[in-house]
Structure 1
Amino acid sequence: SPPAPPAPPKVDTQGIEGGYLKGLRNDLDGYKQYPTGRQASLERPSGEVVVWLLVDRQGRVLD
């Protein structure tokens, strides 16, 4: 019988995903804006932001 085909190479999916998320966070950091000025100092606004993205298989943000 013919020899078994070689096993496919192992892919570090956690490393790839971690690198992608790090890059995405860095890109998003460029859009963050924090309140400034006296009114912001007095009011001390706070909150939580939720962002939803549609991403294709190549990692491009579609929407």
Structure 2
Amino acid sequence: MPAAAPSAPALHNNLGVALLRSGDLDAAIHHFQLALRLDPAHADARSNLALATAAKSRPPSAK
């Protein structure tokens, strides 16, 4: 077993970041929410969820 295996919340957060960067906001939000279900104190996932949610609510001309 690897000594430094990443945790499931971190994996969901990292996948969410990749999806956010690619513009797939719905999928990114889904993965940030999964990370927070697994670890409600995951600060990065909480922050990233806020960013993705804000980006989704912006009008198209502001993106």
What is the TM-score of this pair, normalised by structure 1? Answer: 0.31
Structure whose alpha-carbon radius of gyration is higher: 1
More helix by share: 2
Structure of higher RCO (CA pairs closer than 8 Å, 6+ residues apart): 2
